[in-house]
Amino acid sequence: MAVTDPFEAFGDVADLALDLADPDAAVRRVAVLALAETADPEAIPHLGGAVADPDAGVRRQAAEALGGFDGPGTAAALCAALADADPGVAAAAAESLTELKDPAAGAPILPLVAHADAFVRAAALRGLRNLRLATSLGPAVGALGDPEPAVRAQAVGVIAYLKSEEALPSLIGATRDPDAEVRRAAVGALAFSRHGHAGEAIGHALHDDDWGVREIAADALGRAGQGTGSAALIVALDDPYWQVRQKALRSLGQLKAHEAVPALLLVLADARPTLRKEAAAALGEIAAPQARAGLAAIADDTDPDVRKTARWALDRLPA
Residue 77's nearest CA partner among 134, 88, 64 is 64
Taking the least distance from each CB to other proteins, the nearer of 54 and 147 is 54
- The size of the chain, in residues, is 319
Residue 179, burial from CB neighbour count under 10 angstroms (0-12, 13-18, 19+): middle
Q: How many Å separate Cα 213 from the centre of its chain?
A: 15
Site residues for other proteins, window 83-142 (CB under 8 A)?
Answer: none
Taking the least distance from each CB to other proteins, the nearer of 55 and 305 is 55
DSSP helix/strand/coil, 64: helix
Beta-carbon contacts of 133 under 8 Å, excluding residues fewer than 6 positions away, are 103, 106, 110
Taking the least distance from each CB to other proteins, the nearer of 58 and 150 is 58
Site residues for other proteins, window 13-52 (CB under 8 A)?
Answer: 24, 26-27, 29-30, 33-34
**Cα separation, 61 vs 152, whole angstroms:** 29
CA torsion through residues 88, 89, 91, 95, sign: positive
Taking the least distance from each CB to other proteins, the nearer of 22 and 117 is 22
Please give the helix or strand (H or E) that residue 171 lies within, else none: helix 168-174
What mask of x and - would describe binding to other proteins in positions 199 to 238, judged by CB under 8 A? ----------------------------------------
**Cα separation, 315 vs 287, whole angstroms:** 9
Residue 19's nearest CA partner among 30, 6, 3 is 30
**Cα separation, 156 vs 189, whole angstroms:** 7
Beta-carbon contacts of 5 under 8 Å, excluding residues fewer than 6 positions away, are none
* Closest separation in Å from C-beta 63 to other proteins: 12
* Closest separation in Å from C-beta 15 to other proteins: 13
**Cα separation, 94 vs 64, whole angstroms:** 9
* Closest separation in Å from C-beta 41 to other proteins: 22
* Closest separation in Å from C-beta 270 to other proteins: 33
* Closest separation in Å from C-beta 75 to other proteins: 23
Cα torsion 139, 141, 146, 151 to 10°: value is 80
Taking the least distance from each CB to other proteins, the nearer of 24 and 315 is 24
* Closest separation in Å from C-beta 50 to other proteins: 13
Taking the least distance from each CB to other proteins, the nearer of 45 and 57 is 57
Most distant CA pair in the chain: distance in Å? 80
* Closest separation in Å from C-beta 24 to other proteins: 7
The residue count for binding other proteins (CB under 8 A) is 9
Taking the least distance from each CB to other proteins, the nearer of 18 and 114 is 18
Beta-carbon contacts of 293 under 8 Å, excluding residues fewer than 6 positions away, are none
Site residues for other proteins, window 55-84 (CB under 8 A)?
Answer: 57, 61
> Is 173 near other proteins (CB under 8 A)?
no
* Closest separation in Å from C-beta 28 to other proteins: 9
Taking the least distance from each CB to other proteins, the nearer of 34 and 90 is 34
Taking the least distance from each CB to other proteins, the nearer of 24 and 166 is 24
* Closest separation in Å from C-beta 119 to other proteins: 23
Could you tell me if 13 and 46 are in contact, meaning their C-beta atoms sit under 8 angstroms apart?
yes
Which residues make up the interface to other proteins (CB under 8 A)?
24, 26-27, 29-30, 33-34, 57, 61
